[in-house]
Chain A
Amino acid sequence: GAGVSQTPSNKVTEKGKYVELRCDPISGHTALYWYRQSLGQGPEFLIYFQGTGAADDSGLPNDRFFAVRPEGSVSTLKIQRTERGDSAVYLCASSLSGVYGYTFGSGTRLTVV
């Protein structure tokens, strides 16, 4: 597509539930990134894919968070047993090579109540 597409744009879920956030990167971009942005903060790195494999998942806060990119295009960020502290905007970005700047999607605003 023309840009990075993230769905849903907003998600409200109850504490303890499971959620999936989807990212559709720019066609042909091999690098895909997930960031989390809390209110008043800059984006914080979660995980980076180069193709189908997770090249760096050092930013995932704990084992409730997991992400996949099975065909090297669309990625899904999965959060199990959501907690109120997981509430944030989850941003996805893609890049042709990982070096020359990223293109971000509009994000998914997750609210855990």
Chain B
Amino acid sequence: GQQLNQSPQSMFIQEGEDVSMNCTSSSIFNTWLWYKQDPGEGPVLLIALYKAGELTSNGRLTAQFGITRKDSFLNISASIPSDVGIYFCAGQSGNTPLVFGKGTRLSVIA
């Protein structure tokens, strides 16, 4: 099935550093979402974006819906140990099921 191109695949950062990850698609989406998955759990929704160019924050997280509607990025500021996990982008067109990226695995070194 179709998957989005998500990068980087993994990153190791020091606690307190900022993190940036992005997602691109060959298709246009009307909705971009970012999820976080902890081991043994299902993905949990972090941020949803519904409009091209939209910039949305949720605490230390900021995400943007690209103007072309084919990309999105997620920034995490001042990372803390509990930010460890796998971050997935997901795109949606209309009411079709979400399409997910392969994930960015984040490790935080205290």
Interface residues of A (CB under 8 A from B): 4, 33, 35, 40-45, 48, 56, 59, 91, 93, 98-107
Shortest Cβ distance from A111 into chain B, in angstroms? 14
Number of B residues contacting the other chain (C-beta, 8 Å)? 26
Indicate whether A45 sits within 8 Å of B95 (C-beta atoms), given known contacts A4-B42, A106-B40.
no
Are A100's CB and B97's CB within 8 A?
no
CB of B75 within 8 Å of the partner chain: no
**C-alpha spacing A88/B1, complex, angstroms:** 16
CB of B73 within 8 Å of the partner chain: no
**C-alpha spacing A45/B41, complex, angstroms:** 17
Indicate whether A33 sits within 8 Å of B48 (C-beta atoms), given known contacts A41-B102, A45-B1.
no
Are B42's CB and A105's CB within 8 A?
yes
**C-alpha spacing A17/B44, complex, angstroms:** 32
Chain A, interface SS category: loop
B100 nearest in chain A by CB position: A42
Are B97's CB and A104's CB within 8 A?
no
A61 nearest in chain B by CB position: B1
> Which residues of chain B come closer than 8 Å to A42, judged between CB atoms?
3-4, 6, 88, 90, 100-103
B4 nearest in chain A by CB position: A42
CB of B99 within 8 Å of the partner chain: yes
**C-alpha spacing A38/B44, complex, angstroms:** 18
CB of B8 within 8 Å of the partner chain: no
Are B101's CB and A59's CB within 8 A?
no
CB of B76 within 8 Å of the partner chain: no
Are B33's CB and A104's CB within 8 A?
no
CB of B108 within 8 Å of the partner chain: no
> Which residues of chain B come closer than 8 Å to A105, judged between CB atoms?
42
Interface residues of B in 6-31 (CB under 8 A from A): 6, 31
> Which residues of chain A come closer than 8 Å to B53, judged between CB atoms?
none
> Which residues of chain B come closer than 8 Å to A104, judged between CB atoms?
35, 42-44
